[in-house]
Amino acid sequence: MTERFLEFTHHILINACEMSYVEEAHGTLELLQRLDRILKYYGNDKEYVSLNKEINILQDYIFIMKMKHGNTCDLRFLGTGEGEDIQIHRFSVISYVDKIIQEHKNDRDKYTTYHISVEFDETITLLVESQSNEEMKSYRCKLDKEV
């Protein structure tokens, strides 16, 4: 995305946020604010970002997905407090978790909880556990970090 497009989109979203505030449409206001943060993140050209920043954007993305598909899932983060100083490839966590969620997209009748935890040692391991009404699955992924 070009910088000009991102700036233009940001101004449109700010205007829409102001209008939703005036109209007391609080859900719409939150949706637009989160979309604005996602677009800014998407437009960022840095190759590496902090793990915590990536997780915050993932939370914004999940909020929007919940509005789109209904409240069919929940996302909980465990043990990610050390992530401020750790730099990872941008979109590595988001892409991985999104693949798992897409795997469950046909199960809209099942409420699924995703527990995401991060293990820190020589490498960073992302553990995602999905638990629906009938089953539990675990996924592990090693994240590349900036050295």
Q: What share of the chain is helix, strand, coil (3-state, %, to 5)?
A: 50, 25, 25
| Residue-number span of the structural domain to which 13 is assigned | 3-143
Based on the structure, what is the number of domains in the chain? Answer: 1
Give the predicted TM-score (pTM) of the model: 0.76
The pLDDT of residue 61 is above 80: yes
The model's confidence at residue 80, banded by pLDDT at 50, 70 and 90, is low
Bridge partners (DSSP) of residue 120 are 124
What does DSSP say about strands 112-120 and 73-78: parallel, antiparallel, or unpaired? Answer: parallel
CATH classification of the domain holding 22: 3.30.565
The model's confidence at residue 111, banded by pLDDT at 50, 70 and 90, is confident
- At 89 the pLDDT is 86
Question: How far is it, in rounded angstroms, from Cα 35 to Cα 74?
Answer: 19
Question: How far is it, in rounded angstroms, from Cα 68 to Cα 32?
Answer: 13
Task: Give me the mean pLDDT over the 54-66 stretch.
Answer: 86
Higher pLDDT among residues 31 and 117, named by residue: 31
Beta carbons within 8 Å of 128's beta carbon, 6+ residues apart: 96, 97, 100, 114, 115, 116, 138, 139, 140, 141
CA pseudo-torsion sign 10, 11, 16, 19: positive
